[in-house]
Amino acid sequence: MYRYDEFDHRFVSERVAQFRDQAARRLSGELTEDEFKPLRLMNGLYLQLHAYMLRVAIPYGTLSGKQMRKLADVADKYDRGYGHFTTRQNIQYNWIKLEETADLLQELSEVEMHAIQTSGNCIRNVTTDHWAGAAADELADPRPVAELLRQWSTLHPEFSFLPRKFKIAVTGAPNDRAAVKVHDIGLRMHQNDAGERGWEVIVGGGLGRTPLIGYTVREFLPETQLLSYLEAIMRVYNLHGRRDNKYKARIKILVHELGEENFRAEVEAEFARQKELDVEVESRELERISNYFAEPAFETLPRLSTGYEAARAGDPAFAQWVRSNIAAHRKDGYAIVNISLKPEGGIPGDATSEQMRTVADLAERFSVEEIRVSHHQNLVLPHVKLDDLHEVWKVLAANGLASANIGKAGDIIACPGLDYCTLATARSIPIAQTISRRFADLNRQHEIGPLRINISGCINACGHHHVAHIGILGLEKKGVEYYQITLGGSSATDASIGTILGPGFSGDKVPDAIETIVNTYLNLRQGGDDSFLDVVRRLGHQPFKEALYAPA
């Protein structure tokens, strides 16, 4: 894992002191709320329906046991004993006081954490594959580049007042788990025939009001040119992105209005003018960072663990959890443990301080001290020995963290919705809760197979409903909440935007509708390997429409 040196420490401390001064000037009235707003936002502080909300950055979703323990302490001391893990691999606290925020940030800085650029019209926390450094299919760990981008984008003088927010995702694996095609910029690593690595640069993807799949502006960018190329893209966007309408201000709209070829020409022309970035300094920094992400000292283990096999054979609940929550590790004898934050009837992504401490302990005992946050609002222990899995599962189960539903119907992504958010038009959390209760039977969830249900409480789409197999969008008409359903989205390698199935439903009808859709799929599928998404893509919306809207 990356560790701060004296310079990173000094930078973050100065940033905290700067925010302390800004908050004091706001509290004294020297700064107007309009002037303070972008300053607090650049430190992740929002004013929500009931209180301030603080979003803390978890750079590329990686954190240590010690950091997780600090997040738990913060939840107890400054919030109400819990936190909410987000679709951008961050954590949010919902009940923060402005007067205490600088102290909170000070405490975070002690464990090398901050809230810089978790909001505002700047380059946001860079996200990546939550299995980075552990996945069996990976070309290279994307986190050194993600850390390089974190540093490069931090208080970037030119790009801190962009037309709109800007999100970058990176993946080093051919199977995209970082949703790179639905980000402002997505970076995907490739290796050419000469064995050299380079980046495919994807631009203009995004969700929100105008969901779009990004397009490849560069097929293969040499690694050493990455920052210069990104600066060129950012500059074209900063100069020419629309500022007259915030809903048309994201880079995807600029790409759309200019056209792909014109946009590429602008970027390449700007790139050709970039002479000043010091490539040598950049490569040395990347090399320095990479040392922190050297592979942990894994033991040489057999591929099979007899203890683990025996536990699986003797404990059906454990075996079921293994089937859904364990992923293949690059090293023999190790596994990736996915911890579901989606218990039956729970709030997706929420964890209590006690649960955070449990995960911190497990990371320290069993996973080389490492934890990841996934953009599905779950946690990951990336490096667990097969021999230890049963013990890890028992501890998780004792703490309400062993839901065997990763990638299943119960693993629902939901934004905070009208329960917290000022932008929301409808509630998301209660809908997620009722659906998860409806599909409480884990055997049934496993029988249904891979299914991604995402819920957004407004058209800004924080719940990523467009890229769900079944997306649910909460809207409001004449004071009444109702929900639109989309089918066929995906944020994976073959990304697609779901399309609307038909007229919406009131909240209490949504679980029935979802159940009808799922039952229709089960009737149509050709065997257990024929997934929900496969069937929707093959047969289209028609059979689902007929089942859902047929006269009773």
Partner 1 sequence: MPLLKDNDFIDDTWQRLDDGAAIPATGDILVSLARLLADFGKLSNRDGRLGVEFPNEERPGVLESFLPDLSLIALTFPKFADGRAYSQARQLRQLGYDGELRAIGDVLPDQLSFMLETGFDAFEVTERFPEEAWEQAASSISLTYQSAAYQPRRLHVWRLRWARDEGV
Q: Which residues of this protein are in contact with partner 1, per CB under 8 A?
A: 5, 7-8, 10-11, 14-15, 17-18, 21-22, 35, 38-39, 121, 151-152, 154-162, 231, 235, 238-239, 243, 273, 275-278, 281-282, 284-285, 288
Q: What is the DSSP string of 239-299?
A: HHS--S-GGG-SHHHHHHHH-HHHHHHHHHHHHHH---S-HHHHHHHHHHHHHHTPPP---
User: Can you tell me whether residue 73 is helix, strand or coil?
Assistant: helix
Cβ(285)–Cβ(151) under 8 Å? yes
445 vs 435: CA distance, rounded Å = 12
CB of 423 to partner 1, least distance (A): 18
121 vs 183: CA distance, rounded Å = 15
The two three-digit tokens of residue 86, written as one number:
């987000």
Phi then psi dihedrals of residue 208, to 5 deg: 65, -150
CB of 205 to partner 1, least distance (A): 23
CB of 75 to partner 1, least distance (A): 29
Radius of gyration over every alpha carbon of the chain, rounded to an integer in angstroms: 23
Cβ(469)–Cβ(451) under 8 Å? yes
CB of 250 to partner 1, least distance (A): 15
Q: Which is nearer to partner 1, 157 or 195 (CB)?
A: 157
Q: What is the DSSP string of 91-131?
A: EEEEEE-HHHHHHHHHHHHHTT---TTSSSSSB---EE-TT
Can you name the residues that pair with 221 across neighbouring β-strands? Answer: 199
CB of 170 to partner 1, least distance (A): 17
Q: Which is nearer to partner 1, 4 or 95 (CB)?
A: 4
- Give burial (CB, 10 Å; 0-12/13-18/19+) of 434: middle
Q: Which is nearer to partner 1, 159 or 521 (CB)?
A: 159
Q: Which is nearer to partner 1, 284 or 437 (CB)?
A: 284
Q: Which is nearer to partner 1, 262 or 506 (CB)?
A: 262
CB of 278 to partner 1, least distance (A): 5
| Angle (CA) 100 120 97, round 5° | 15
Q: Which is nearer to partner 1, 190 or 243 (CB)?
A: 243
CB of 7 to partner 1, least distance (A): 5
The 10 Å Cβ neighbour count of residue 277 is 16
Cβ(52)–Cβ(97) under 8 Å? yes
- Give burial (CB, 10 Å; 0-12/13-18/19+) of 73: middle
Reported residue count of the chain is 552
CB of 281 to partner 1, least distance (A): 5
Q: Which is nearer to partner 1, 154 or 484 (CB)?
A: 154
CB of 74 to partner 1, least distance (A): 24
Q: Which is nearer to partner 1, 20 or 545 (CB)?
A: 20
Q: Which is nearer to partner 1, 17 or 27 (CB)?
A: 17
